[in-house]
Amino acid sequence: MNNKFWLLIAGVLGVVILAMGWFLGVSPKLDEMAAANDQRASVEQQNRLHEAKLAELKKQFKDLDNLKADLTEAQLGLPPGDELSTFLGQLHQLEAASGVSLTKFAASDGQRYIAAPGATVNAAITADNFVAITIDLTVAGTQAQVMNFVSDLQYGPRLFLVTKLTVAQDQTSADQEGKPAGYTGSITGYVYVLVDPSAPPPTPTPVGSLDTKPSPSPSP
């Protein structure tokens, strides 16, 4: 009886010791392994996201030169500042190409953009970043030369919207026999400025500082 009793006690103690070993040793280790596996899965998922983002950045970097070229071309038409001196240089090139004489160039103060009622407006264009500058030009030449100048002006590097055009014959030249009739073209329109919010504010060109009399010869 005593032997059986002690054997029973020993068996119970063995079970207790095994159970304690499980709870104190094996079970925590299994929990640690499960947590480590969960953490590893999370890290692997983050790594995949980072790899995808890195691949996209590499692709964009390959296109960086093309994007810079596109931006430079776009800024010729919509510069971040008024760039009136550059625009005047472009006018002299058009003057030489068409054969007219540019006799007047005047620019007004810039006006903040105001959308027409009911017009569809690009959300990127606001009164804070889009400015219109009124330009008044007068050119002299034959009728064909004046019209060629106006056409080239509208398709030049700088975006120019003609709002008013008057072409009148010069009566003095019309009275001179053997000479083609002279015409004067008066042109009013807008050039535009698209301000870059990430850059320092551009310094505006003083209004009237670029008004011209008969224009100088264009640079070669």
Question: What angle do the packed helices 84-98 and 143-154 form, to 10 degrees?
Answer: 140
Q: What is the predicted pLDDT for the residue at 181?
A: 72
Condensed to tens digits (0 to 9), the pLDDT of residues 49-94 reads: 777 777 776 676 666 566 556 556 666 678 888 888 889 999 999 9
DSSP state of 204: P
Measured in whole angstroms, how far is the alpha carbon of residue 98 from the centre of its chain?
Answer: 32
The pLDDT-based confidence of 217 (bands split at 50, 70, 90) is: very low
Residue 215, pLDDT > 50, answer no
Contact 202, 80 (CB under 8 A): yes
Q: What is the predicted pLDDT for the residue at 109?
A: 83
What's the Cα-to-Cα distance from 194 to each of 76, 90, 96, 123, 148, rounded to whole Å? 11, 19, 28, 13, 28
Condensed to tens digits (0 to 9), the pLDDT of residues 114-145 reads: 777 777 777 777 777 888 899 999 999 999 99
Q: What is the predicted pLDDT for the residue at 126?
A: 79
Percent of the chain with pLDDT over 90: 29
Mean pLDDT, residues 172-189 taken together: 76
Check residues 195 and 12 and name the one with the higher pLDDT.
Answer: 195
Contact 155, 113 (CB under 8 A): no
Q: Cα–Cα distance between 151 and 102 in angstroms, integer?
A: 15
Q: Residue 111, CB half-sphere, CA atoms under 13 Å: how many?
A: 12
Beta carbons within 10 angstroms of residue 102's beta carbon: 24
CA dihedral 205, 211, 212, 216 (to 10 degrees): 0
Condensed to tens digits (0 to 9), the pLDDT of residues 90-106 reads: 999 999 999 999 999 99
What's the fold here for domain 80-194? Alpha-Beta Plaits (3.30.70)
Residue 167, pLDDT > 90, answer yes
Q: Is the pTM of this model over 0.75?
A: no
Q: Where are the domains of the chain?
A: 1-62, 80-194
